[in-house]
Amino acid sequence: MIEQIQQLAKQLKTEIIAIREQIHANPELSFEEYNTSLLVENYLKDLGLNPQRIANTGVWAMINGNGKSHKTIALRADLDALPITEKGNHTYISKNEGVMHACGHDVHTACLLGAAKILVSIRDQMEGNIKLVFQPGEEKLPGGASLLIKEGILENPKVDAIIGQHVMPFINTGNVGFKKGLYMASTDELYITIHGKGGHGAMPYLGVDPVAVTAQVIVALQQLVSRKASAIIPTVLTFGKINSDGGATNVIPNSVKIEGTLRTLDETWRAKAHQHIREICEHTAAAFGATAEVKIEVGYPYLKNDVPLTSHAMDAANTYLGNSQVKELDIWMAAEDFAYYSQEVPACFYRLGTRNEAKGYTSSVHTNTFDIDADAIETGIGLMAYLAWATAKA
């Protein structure tokens, strides 16, 4: 079966690269993936499948095996792009100004279409069933995964396990990476406003300077990680934006807004951290005569890779690619809405290497120069198909 899938992946490589480039050139933002989902639908129909819509721009379809097993394995890809203006001179550069596939979702979608074509061709040798999931809105709260789960994507038929693949520009093309157990962080957005009393910069004693108070709040909040968080629970608190309503160097504003992110890998601590953040902000501001308004937008949960499933997937990847090409990854404090699936059913979220320094493919995801070594497509198609076949059989 390995040689058969490898040969099919090699044959499909050029076709799937062209599809990836078509999707890349026509990116669509979260929950606006109308043309992308139509492309997916048409491709699946051409394979003889019966694609269904879900959550408006999502698409799913079933590939039924030979009936020897009723197990159902879901394969997930995401469809949406990011609000980034692409920089580059390749032929498939984004045609939609300010929108770019900077996180590789075009690759994920194309690879799943290729895997689907392989699985359809070997369905008589496939003991279980495969549910193809093309998900909208990974990049935007509340996350398309949460909506698909609410609409029943893990039911009818019930999903026994789910597998997701994501590009990784820090891993060389031809290699893949896995992490058993806890892998990616939860993510929450923090919006904090410090209210003071504005006035003339030459007479600060007549007001309450929210700029100075904000500085104290930011410093105090660092205690959350260094003194409140357990040393064995990874926690990151970062503020990336500060704005005031002031308009000149000698004007003390009435308020200052700061925005940041909290990431961790423990739901109990996460809830406690939210309370600590509120208390630190409010009490620190009060100590200087100001007030704090704290808004926390709760985002994706942490992502956990089921240990038995991921161990099996790693063994299958070793068999398909060779041991030297399968890497063990560390915890990564980025976030992914695939985490919602991992909270419901056994899940495996692994990384597809796309880096090639010799060809100049080294940019990180979420940058305006991100691109992949197209040779990674062949690995992505074949491995996903083989993992689905091997997992359905197990």
pLDDT digits (tens, 9 = 90+) for 210-225: 999 999 999 999 999 9
The reported pLDDT for the residue numbered 393 is: 84
Whether residue 367 is predicted with pLDDT greater than 80 in this model: the reply is yes
Q: Are 171 and 195 within one domain?
A: no
Cβ-contact 104, 372 below 8 angstroms: yes
Nearest C-alpha neighbor of 196 from the set 291, 282, 286, 279: 291
What does the pLDDT average to over 41-51?
98
Please state whether 73 falls in left (phi above 0), alpha (psi between -120 and 50) or beta: beta
Last residue of a domain, one of 273, 298, 323: 298
Q: 346: which DSSP letter?
A: -
Global pTM? Answer: 0.94
Q: Are 129 and 170 within one domain?
A: yes
What does the pLDDT average to over 254-263?
98
The reported pLDDT for the residue numbered 30 is: 98
Q: Are 345 and 247 within one domain?
A: no
The reported pLDDT for the residue numbered 230 is: 95
For residue 132, what is the domain's CATH number? Answer: 3.40.630.10
Q: Where are the beta strands (DSSP E) in the chain?
A: 52-54, 58-63, 72-78, 129-135, 161-172, 176-178, 181-184, 188-195, 199-200, 235-244, 251-252, 255-264, 291-298, 303-305, 326-328, 347-355
Bridge partners of 60, per DSSP, are 52, 133
Last residue of a domain, one of 254, 275, 298: 298
CA distance 232 to 324: 31
The reported pLDDT for the residue numbered 106 is: 98
Whether residue 322 is predicted with pLDDT greater than 90 in this model: the reply is no
Residue with tokens 């919006």: 191
Q: Are 87 and 209 within one domain?
A: no
CA distance 394 to 67: 14
Dig out the tokens for 329 from the structure: 């990854």
Q: Are 8 and 86 within one domain?
A: yes
Q: Are 214 and 277 within one domain?
A: yes
What does the pLDDT average to over 166-181?
97
Dig out the tokens for 244 from the structure: 């005031």
What does the pLDDT average to over 197-206?
96
CA distance 151 to 85: 33
What does the pLDDT average to over 229-241?
96
Q: Are 163 and 308 within one domain?
A: yes
Residue 77 backbone dihedrals phi, psi, to 5 degrees: -130, 155
For residue 196, what is the domain's CATH number? Answer: 3.30.70.360
pLDDT digits (tens, 9 = 90+) for 180-189: 999 999 999 9
pLDDT digits (tens, 9 = 90+) for 281-314: 999 999 999 999 999 999 999 999 999 999 999 9
Whether residue 326 is predicted with pLDDT greater than 80 in this model: the reply is yes
The reported pLDDT for the residue numbered 79 is: 98
Domain range for 124 is 2-183+301-393
pLDDT band at 193 (very low <50, low <70, confident <90, very high): very high
Cβ-contact 300, 340 below 8 angstroms: yes
Angstrom distances, CA of residue 3 to CA of 7, 63, 66, 69, 122: 6, 21, 20, 23, 12
Last residue of a domain, one of 245, 277, 298: 298
The reported pLDDT for the residue numbered 32 is: 98
Task: Give how many domains the chain has, as a whole number.
Answer: 2
Dig out the tokens for 192 from the structure: 């904090």
Q: Are 6 and 83 within one domain?
A: yes
The reported pLDDT for the residue numbered 252 is: 96
- Per-residue DSSP letters for 79-139? ---BS------STT--SSTT-B--SSHHHHHHHHHHHHHHHHHTGGG--SEEEEEEES-TT
Whether residue 276 is predicted with pLDDT greater than 80 in this model: the reply is yes
Q: Are 226 and 350 within one domain?
A: no
Q: Are 340 and 379 within one domain?
A: yes
CA distance 91 to 94: 9
Q: Are 121 and 28 within one domain?
A: yes
Dig out the tokens for 264 from the structure: 């961790």
The reported pLDDT for the residue numbered 161 is: 98
Give the distance, in angstroms, between the CA of residue 137 and the centroid of all CA atoms in the same chain.
10
Whether residue 94 is predicted with pLDDT greater than 80 in this model: the reply is yes
pLDDT digits (tens, 9 = 90+) for 96-105: 999 999 999 9
Q: Are 132 and 40 within one domain?
A: yes
The reported pLDDT for the residue numbered 394 is: 72
